[in-house]
A and B are shown apart, each in its own frame.
Chain A
Amino acid sequence: MIKLSIEELKEVVKQERICQKITEKTKEKAADIITKSKEDAQESLQKAENQEYYEKLFSKGLSEIEEKKKNIEKKTEEKIKSINEKAHASTAEKAVSMIVSYVLGEE
């Protein structure tokens, strides 16, 4: 068994108090770490829930659909142009002549 003098015992007790204070501070620090992690977690969840982000995503998709619709319209115009060009060339004359011959009983 170790025998200590009163003075020495006081020193040890003093040291223990210092250590307790440090432990208290450490516990506070640990609590801060957990609080900070909870805040980070909350932020992460809020980001995931952010409606604005999904609205932007939807809006971007809508723009792409509009673009596709415009392409269809453009193609329609091109097709109509091409139909008109072909029909107004000699092919229309041929078609008219075919009908006339049919009505006259020539075919």
Chain B
Amino acid sequence: MENIKAQVKFMSEIENKEIIEEAEEQAKKIVSNAEKEALRIRNQKTLEVSERLHEKEISDLEGALLEQKKRISNVRSQLLDEVIAEATTILEKMGHDSDPRYRTSLRKLIIEASTRVQACDLEILTNSRDKVFVKSKLVELTKDISRLKGMPVILKISKDELDTQGGTIVLDKNKRQIFNNTFEARLVEAKDELMSQISMILFEGLED
């Protein structure tokens, strides 16, 4: 009799143990599935955030770098303008003071312009201030230009006057060929010709 009771109890205990084990197994599966799903969601959402951030970073940093380039370029351009303005002031002063360096230069500029014009009958234009000086050197200039061109030239000073800080314009008799060797024209030329060299001098060794 006691044996039967013990058997009933034993069977029941086995059944109960199985119920709990099965429940625990099921619970484990539920939690494990949920954790897998949670991990998938987390990964996906984190990836979305990281993609949004990446796009924002690219756009913001590109903008910032562009702004940097613009600002540096403006500073450089301003400095180049300052250098040109300073050079212009020096040249103006030279012309006004009839500096010997300027006088030598004016002769050179007249000779250069005259040799560039393919004619023998030439007219020289300058500002009113330089006219007197050129007149005093006309014979000498005619000789030099004739020698350089390899033919005799007739050099005249125009009645007209230029509104220029310095330099000259030389033209032929028919006014078909004109060579502008004024300071203003040469400054424009200098900007084109020397800009890269000047940039090198000013900004050499500095990163972009």
A binds B: yes
Interface residues of A (CB under 8 A from B): 2, 4, 8, 11-12, 15-16, 19-20, 22-23, 26-27, 29-31, 33-34, 36-38, 40-42, 44-45, 47-49, 54, 57-58, 61-62, 65, 68-69, 72-73, 75-76, 79-80, 82-84, 86-87, 91-92, 94-96, 98-100, 102-106
What's the dominant secondary structure at chain A's contact region?
Answer: helix
A23 near B9: Cβ-Cβ < 8 Å: no
B9 near A44: Cβ-Cβ < 8 Å: no
A selection of 11 A-B contacts at a CB cut-off of 8 Å is A23-B19, A36-B27, A41-B31, A44-B35, A48-B45, A61-B57, A69-B60, A76-B68, A86-B206, A91-B201, A104-B105
A33 near B20: Cβ-Cβ < 8 Å: yes
A96 near B34: Cβ-Cβ < 8 Å: no
- Counting from the closest, the 5 A-B pairs by CB-CB distance are A41-B34, A37-B27, A30-B23, A19-B12, A104-B105
Other-chain contact of B23, A4, A31, A48 (Cβ < 8 Å): A31
Interface with A: B70-78, B114-122, B125-133, which one? Answer: B70-78
A63 to B84, CA, bound (A): 44
| New contact pairs (17) apart from A61-B50, A76-B67, CB-CB < 8 Å | A8-B1, A22-B16, A23-B15, A26-B16, A26-B19, A26-B20, A36-B27, A41-B33, A44-B34, A61-B53, A65-B60, A72-B61, A72-B64, A76-B68, A91-B201, A105-B112, A106-B108
A79 near B87: Cβ-Cβ < 8 Å: no
> Closest CB of chain B to A96's CB: distance in Å?
5
A34 to B108, CA, bound (A): 105
A96 near B79: Cβ-Cβ < 8 Å: no
Interface residues of B (CB under 8 A from A): 1, 4-5, 8-9, 11-12, 15-16, 19-20, 22-24, 26-28, 30-31, 33-35, 37-39, 41-42, 45-46, 48-50, 52-53, 56-57, 60-61, 64-65, 67-68, 71-72, 75-76, 79, 82-84, 86-87, 90-91, 94, 101-102, 105, 108-109, 112, 167, 181, 183, 186-187, 189-190, 193-194, 197-198, 201-207
